Structure 1
């Protein structure tokens, strides 16, 4: 098993940055909803004051902007410089400051103990297909957390998905700039039953009404909750606990752990 080259993954999200918001029927509503859910988890565990937050896979800012809007001091990093730049622009358009940098989560460009909270959301970590890379990323998250700091990491519900091994996701229809688009995914599971290749299809009508199709490809490791909790413990994070969407309002299960 070989991991996806990070240069290829960065290009995947560079190419996707312009229309990533089309994954959501209403991206602005998603910013507010996801920010509020993560904010509640942070304040419940760290207190009412605003936190110093790193979103280490910020993408175009879906979680980072939502948290910044609620008063947290958020810094974003992402493997894709194009995505990180769009996050800055989207935050500024909403009157918010969101400094970002292009960085690999396995080598975060910050000193030890810099942040109260590290967020790694929206199924970003499972792009790492090898155990040593997962350990490296979680080790870096733990390193940049202050003592007692909080890690919030979300993935797809892989316990269930590994059992059912779906071949596709339902189509998502979105309207943007007066044009309707359709997004869906096809999944091809590897023989190990743990990893899968993803093809992301985006259908968008052109000026004549003809559907134009764009396809992007990537791979994921469908880590179970127990596997990720064990990796977090190996990285020195403590008290690993999973909270579910029904309890948090966040759209994915969230692993919560602390730096000792």
Structure 2
């Protein structure tokens, strides 16, 4: 298995993460709008255990939920708190590995783990530890919300890259693209994440970050979630949910 550090990846990306979006604030608001119906009537006590710089957590906090964030990257978590404050929201955060969540048991109504974060857990024991921790901090009948790439299709086709993204910034156009290098097992892949930003004159500044991922199918993730003490697993496709990735929801079994 390739030894790439997910923490190093997101520590490095945190100052530039918002540049992935054409309009980060608009994306935050939209994602909160489409996730809210899945959460049901609130407000809820929400843990975003892979909050990054706050893309889902800030939007949900502004929508009235009491949100706490945690993230493997202390740089990203600190930025999430600061960005929330600028927008008039309260978002306490902690730097924490989702396999070892530093929260009391049964204190949250909802746990969110979005943006394909669970894919950075590269072994079955890692996934099991993370999901067991999410179940522990949820009250009975609390809601788990996971979002991942459409790995069923990707495992079949093994693409070498997703489509590039082009965003307009105050400094000019930003180009974001990735290269995926699949392992022989057909399940894991190494990701090279490139950001090209205008430099001086005709030059471009290139930033490259690397991480590894496990392309978990829906059947695999459903089995892990059920084994961690959740019931009523449902998959919501982008066409029905409005979210940009497939969404898994499940309830903490009593």
User: Shared fold (TM-score greater than 0.5)?
Assistant: yes
2:35 maps to what in 1?
38
Paired residues of 2:171 and 2:198 also in contact (CA < 8 A): no
Local SS of the residue matching 1:207: coil
Which of 7, 14, 19 pairs up with 1:17? Answer: 14
Choose which of 86, 89, 96 in structure 2 pairs with 1:93.
Answer: 86
Number of matched pairs: 253
Partner Cα distance (1:209, 1:59) in 2: 32
Question: Which digits, 9 at most, give the CA deviation of each residue in 1:41-78, with x for residues without a partner?
Answer: 101xxxx2200000000000000011011000000000
1:135 corresponds, among 128, 134, 147, to 128
Question: How many angstroms does 1:239 deviate by?
Answer: 1.1
Match of 1:83 in 2: 76
1:224 to 194, 214, 217: 217
Give the 3-state SS of the residue equivalent to 2:143 in structure 1: strand
Out of 173, 178, 181, the residue aligned to residue 180 of structure 1 is: 173
The whole-number CA distance in structure 1 between the counterparts of 2:136 and 2:149 is 25
Q: Are the aligned partners of 2:118 and 2:127 in contact in 1 as well (CA < 8 Å)?
A: yes
SS in 1 for 2:105: coil
**Structure 2: how far apart are the matches of 1:214 and 1:116?**
38
| Structure 2 CA distance for aligned equivalents of residues 164 and 26 of structure 1 | 31
Aligned to 1:122: 115
Distance in 2 between residues matched to 1:178 and 1:216, nearest whole Å:
21
The offset of 1:205, in angstroms, is: 1.0
| Runs of 4+ with deviation above 4 angstroms | none
Contact 1:25 1:172 in 2 (8 A): no
Q: Distance in 2 between matches of 1:66 and 1:49?
A: 14
Say if 2:63 is the partner of 1:73: no
Take 1:34 and 1:159, find their aligned partners in 2: how far apart are those partners? Answer: 23
Distance in 2 of aligned mates of 1:49 and 1:75: 15
Shift of 1:79: 0.4
State the distance in 2 between where 1:26 and 1:229 align.
Answer: 33
In terms of mean alpha carbon deviation, does 31-40 or 96-105 score higher?
A: 31-40
What is the distance in 1 between the residues matched to 2:89 and 2:217? 36
Please, which runs of 5 or more residues in structure 1 have no aligned partner?
A: none
